Amino acid sequence: GLVTSKEMFKKAYEGNYAVGAFNVNNMEIIQGIVDAAKQENAPLILQVSAGARKYANPIYLRKLVEAAIEDSGLDIVLHLDHGDSFEICKSCVDGGFSSVMIDGSKLSFEENIALTKRVVEYAHDKGVVVEAELGKLAGVEDAVKVNTKDATYTDPDEAAEFVHRTGVDSLAIAIGTSHGAYKFKGDPSLDFERLEKISKLLPNFPLVLHGSSSVPKEFVDLCNKYGGKIPGAAGVPEEMLLKASKMAVCKINIDTDLRLAMTACIRQILVENPSEFDPRKYLGPGRDAIRDMVSHKMRNVLGCSNKK
Ligand code: G3H
Ligand code: 13P
Ligand code: NA
Ligand code: ZN
């Protein structure tokens, strides 16, 4: 059925693994991800962004996830990704989500606390859990140097104060990951020392890592080989994510890698079969490509296979 992430995170924390949170926008993406979770016997979070709600119309996504739960028999968390206002969080709480994220990371510390608290009060009253964010995810353009880390990465003492004052259920932290396919210009690195400090100040508290696609070279190359143009794409190395999964990180967000897998597959099919124009002939394989990518993540990166 539809569940919150409460138990999932408790088990992940104690079992030294992370649950994958995958972004969904349409039927094929949902089916591919759910197939993988079934195959891997893994816990699962499906997340919907404001952009996804706009693209698909919220009711379609909710009904598709409902269908996925009914058809698969799995326990699934339906989560709002990066809610930026009380109103969108309220709309998702009222609309059947079991988890919402209020992302006040662009606000001041006090404003972020006030907004998060308001969402927590509303959501908890209805049995819905809340994720918040503290610190700013850096992009390639932000050129994170040692001296800028303190300004953008999550401050451990602030994280502890934030959690205690808001009563939030999980917290997304900034330690060097960023959204999209261009995460690092030079050598990739994450601030594991900071992660360790945060987790020491918040015992048994689940942390979340956004921007956790690995941007596998194989898929970037496939896209480029079949007419794509995404040079210099780079993600978080899998071994770093595996390391974070074994620590207090209990939720790892992945979207870009699913987009790459599906697009690489569809590009290849269209180039190799120019007379094909039945959408099922490329959306079907695209769905399988998502399934295989998600299965690989669960098994080799998150450590959550057979942890359902
Ligand atoms: O955090 C961003 C996610 O990848 C969702 O992206 O806003 O384009 O749906 P989106
Ligand atoms: P990626 O762009 O690295 O897949 O991150 C997705 C994410 O953090 C969604 O909230
Ligand atoms: Na973990
Ligand atoms: Zn994110």
C-beta of 82 in contact with ligand 1 (< 6 A)? yes
CATH number for 6-302 (one of 3.20.20.70, 3.30.70.890, 3.30.470.10, 3.10.20.310): it is 3.20.20.70
187-244 tens-digit pLDDT = 999 999 999 999 999 999 999 999 999 999 999 999 999 999 999 899 999 999 999 9
Looking at ligand 1, which residue's alpha carbon is closest to its atom 9?
Answer: 51
How far apart CA 12 and CA 94 sit, in angstroms, is 28
| Domain ranges for the chain | 6-302
**pLDDT digit string, tens, across residues 113-138:** 999 999 999 999 999 999 999 999 97
* Nearest one of 248, 226, 245, 225 to 237, comparing CA atoms: 245
Q: What is the overall mean pLDDT for the chain?
A: 96
ipTM, interface predicted TM-score of the complex: 0.99
Atom of ligand 2 nearest to the CA of 236: 3
**What number is the average pLDDT over the span 44-61?**
97
User: Is pLDDT at 150 greater than 90 in this prediction?
Assistant: no
Q: What is the mean pLDDT of residues 12-23?
A: 98
The token pair at 250 is 């209990």
> How far, in Å, CA of 200 to CA of 206, rounded?
12
Catalytic residue (one of 35, 71, 75, 81): 81
How remote is the CA of residue 281 from the centroid of ligand 4, in Å? 31
pLDDT score recorded for residue 23: 98
- State the pLDDT confidence band at 142, using cuts at 50, 70 and 90: low
The residue count of the chain comes to 308
**Annotation says 103 is catalytic:** no
Residue 151: the pLDDT is 80
Q: What is the pLDDT of residue 145?
A: 60
Read off the tokens for 90: 């309220």
Closest ligand 2 atom, CA of 180?
A: 2
Q: Give the distance (Å) from ligand 3 centre to CA of residue 227.
A: 38
The Cα 301–Cα 286 span in angstroms is 21
Tell me, yes or no, if the pTM score tops 0.95. yes
Atom of ligand 2 nearest to the CA of 258: 4
Residue 295 pLDDT > 60:
yes
Residue 271 CA to ligand 3 center (angstroms) comes to: 41
Alpha-carbon torsion (89, 105, 9, 177), positive or negative: positive
79 within 8 A of 112, measured Cβ to Cβ: no
Nearest to 261 by CA among 290, 221, 237, 226: 290
Indicate if ligand 1 lies below 6 Å from the C-beta of 52: yes
Give the pLDDT score at 148: 72
Q: What is the pLDDT of residue 229?
A: 97
179 lines ligand 1 (CB under 6 A): yes
Three-state DSSP class for residue 252 = strand
Nearest C-alpha neighbor of 305 from the set 20, 68, 5 = 20
Q: Residue with the nearest Cα to atom 4 of ligand 1?
A: 255
* Integer CA distances (angstroms), 97 to 74, 140, 230, 283, in order: 16, 33, 34, 27
Give residue 146's pLDDT. 54
